[in-house]
Structure 1
Amino acid sequence: MAITDAWLTEKVSQRHITITKYADYLWLLDARGVAYLPACDWLIVSDLHLEKGSYLRSYANPLPSLDSTATLKRLESIIDDYQPLRVISLGDSFHDKHSMSRMTIEDRQHLCRLVDKVKEWMWVEGNHDPDLPEGIPGTPCFEIVLDNMVFRHEPEMSEKRAQVIGHYHPKKRTTVTRRRYSGKCFTNNKNLFVMPAFGQFTGGLDIDEDVMLTLLPKPTRQVFMFCDGIIFKI
């Protein structure tokens, strides 16, 4: 753990970080799209979707193949700040099973160096990446359990424990003092916590869409939206 009280106080006062509680743990929600559990020294990130750009380009979409580079640089900056004991990448870290064959040597080496920076790196399997690509360090797993809380990519509707998931790429639109804002968000109720997507080219699903309202009805949920480096509860 590298964060200090002074650093955290400054980040909270600048609204770069907000603090919440879920499943009896304090969480730091970072406006860069990650969550941190101080009690465990765990950093949580979801839906990197590495090499989505090159995947879309193969289908004639006019996008630059720079998303992996940008995603890894942003993630490295965050890891340097927190210096966590464990990083949990909560599924869909790689956009498809051929991602590594399209990734540049430089990005592949960067990814391996990043994983090696922390003591433990857990790759939770997702629907896009059920198998960890060969040659990538870290530990693949289906889920991670912490007391009465389970980390997995998609929710299990019969689960009695509190769940932390990715998959849905939540986002929200809101109006503040007549100005309209749109951004990714963290959203949760007492049983389910949904992480935002971190990847450079990841879109989002509005939390007021039916599928999200089924998971997190408005009366039960809280929402932390981030935009332009600021995170705020709405």
Structure 2
Amino acid sequence: MSDTASLKYERDDLFQVGAARVLFCGKSFIADHTGALYWPAEETMIFSDLCLDKGSYLAEDDAVLPPYDTLSVFEKVEDALSRYDPARVIALGESFGGPNVYRRGLSIHDIDWLIDLMDGRDWYWVSGEDDPGIPEKVGGTVCPNVSLASLRFRNEPVRAPITHEVAGGVHPVATFTQYDRVTRARCFVSNGMRMLLPSVGHYGPGTNVLDKTLDPLMGHEGLFVWVVSHGQAFPIAAGQLLGEDEVEDASLM
């Protein structure tokens, strides 16, 4: 087998069942069913809003939530890392659930698990000033943003008309019609200039991609959406998208 044929096979093999090809600012990515975004050319995986141990943190406010969110997130992260084996990981947005995460949140087992996942990789925690701190034992590089091959990765989008930005912190969701049913799911969304990533964590608040609060960031015209639903990541046509005020009408059709 020639080197060219071998390289083609290896690249095609990355597009596993449940993944979708994403083209953004002239670069090729893979939207994974775990909610991760993989950049083959840079051997880089991007996660957004892991929200580790957020269920425990919210319980302090008397919110009754299942205590399995951290386990599920770790399983998704481990699954994505084992399949793509990136050299670099960029974690955007709210990676940890609250300011007490090290003192009374993540267990020693959880911290050891996270350290094992990070082992041998360049790991960047992209977070804002108001985000919980990263446990010192965990390691990695904490920074306000990462620049890589003309793209800028931020914990949340800049409120300005810019381009080549990949951001977390928004928790985008899409409500759409498919097979005469209305479905709501986490999603990747882009307007060709910036991309917002879905929350990998379970308790991130969802923002509809057609919500007016996103108009300054994305607009409504020319949106590209890839939803994460039923173990798959797949594109949705803009005409299938519904605003929250349209959901009730659609469900009555």
Same fold, TM-score > 0.5, yes or no: yes
Cα separation, 2, equivalents of 1:228 and 1:111:
26
Question: Between Structure 1 and Structure 2, how many residues are aligned?
Answer: 227
- Which residue in the other structure is 1:4 paired with? 10
> Alignment partner of 1:80: what SS?
helix
Taking a change above 3 Å as real, the CA distance of residues 51 and 6 of structure 1, as seen in their structure-2 partners, is: same
1:125 aligned to 2:152? Answer: no
Cα separation, 2, equivalents of 1:168 and 1:47:
9
> Alignment partner of 2:221: what SS?
helix
1:144 aligned to 2:150? Answer: no
- Which residue in the other structure is 2:6 paired with? none
% same residue: 30
- Which residue in the other structure is 1:216 paired with? 218
Q: Which has the larger radius of gyration?
A: 2
Residue from 74, 77, 86 that aligns with 2:76: 74
Cα separation, 2, equivalents of 1:90 and 1:217:
22
- What per-residue deviation string (whole Å, max 9, x for no partner) do you get for residues 25-73 of structure 1? 1011112101011110000000011111111111111223221122112
- Which residue in the other structure is 2:111 paired with? 108
Cα separation, 2, equivalents of 1:51 and 1:182:
24
Cα separation, 1, equivalents of 2:229 and 2:130:
27
- Aligned positions of 1:191-230 closer than 5 A: 191-230=193-232
Cα separation, 1, equivalents of 2:197 and 2:20:
14
Deviation at 1:128, TM superposition (A): 5.0
TM-score between the two structures when normalised by the length of structure 2: 0.84
- What per-residue deviation string (whole Å, max 9, x for no partner) do you get for residues 193-229 of structure 1? 0000001322311111111233111213111112101
Say whether the 8 Å CA contact 1:163–1:193 is kept in structure 2: yes
- Structure 1 residues not aligned, in runs of 5+: none
- What per-residue deviation string (whole Å, max 9, x for no partner) do you get for residues 52-105 of structure 1? 111111111122322112211211111011110101001210122211222112
> Alignment partner of 1:4: what SS?
helix
Amino acid paired to 2:116: R
Deviation at 1:126, TM superposition (A): 3.3
TM-score between the two structures when normalised by the length of structure 1: 0.90
RMSD, aligned CA = 1.8
Cα separation, 2, equivalents of 1:160 and 1:217:
13
Amino acid paired to 1:68: T
- Structure 2 residues not aligned, in runs of 5+: 1-8, 237-253
- What per-residue deviation string (whole Å, max 9, x for no partner) do you get for residues 101-155 of structure 1? 2211211111111111x42011101365253222112111111112321001122
Larger displacement relative to structure 2 (94-103 or 165-174): 94-103
